[in-house]
Amino acid sequence: MYPVLQIALDLDELVKAVDIASRITAVTKCGHIWIEAGTPLIKAWGRIAVKALKEITKCYLVADTKTMDVPSIEAKIVYSAGADAFTVLGLADEETLKEASDTKKEYGRALIVDLIGVREPYKRAVEIARYEPDVILFHVGISVQRLRGVTGEELVREAVKTKEELGVRVGVAGGLKPGVIKGLVERGVDVVIVGSAITKAENPEKTTLDILREMGVL
């Protein structure tokens, strides 16, 4: 199954998100593809967005809730709408992370812990590993990318170290584009998250296929 390309639909237009996702899955048949209902999409459309993307694409679906509190409630909302995984922030307290872990086990689904905003990602990843997340995500946010020009590529060393030492699956996100993906996968990154490089492309299907080829899965 791994490595996986997770396509972040960080849009506020549901029709556009569904259109892009359906076009991509028509040519990939969901092979090595995860579809992400991005945080803006979930805030704009809620469980409707999750349900629509799942029913139309039939792909593995990540609901990027970026949960900070009451994960049992937020997980239930997106799991019941068809999500296979939801996200909790690594900045959340230990009680929240434990509740998230318990909830994903109860539903038999997956938990992704997103380290966006964490000052010492590797140190926090070591603490988080005890909660058995399915993926620990090393993530540079869009605002930081815009202001400082930092991208997810710069977190790869810590992601790889986490995987090697803790035996957990790791993802990288933040301004990733075709041309840098091969190096990430070769170093052991399990989940590569790409957003605007695909969603803003003139031909999202072609860009997706190009990335999958770069990953060595086509």
DSSP H or E run through 19? helix 14-28
Tell me the residue range of the domain where 42 lies.
Answer: 4-215
**9: number of Cβ within 10 Å:** 27
What is the tally of structural domains in the chain? 1
The pTM assigned to this predicted structure is 0.94
Whichever domain contains 102, its CATH number is: 3.20.20.70
Q: What does the radius of gyration of the chain's CA atoms come to, in whole angstroms?
A: 16
Q: Over its length of 218 residues, how does the chain's per-residue pLDDT go in tens digits?
A: 899 999 999 999 999 999 999 999 999 999 999 999 999 999 999 999 999 999 999 999 999 999 999 999 999 999 999 999 999 999 999 999 999 999 999 999 999 999 998 888 899 999 999 999 999 999 876 554 454 454 566 678 889 999 999 999 999 998 899 999 999 999 999 999 999 999 999 999 999 999 999 999 99
Which residues are registered as beta bridge partners of 6? Answer: 34, 193
- What six digits make up the tokens of 171? 């993802």
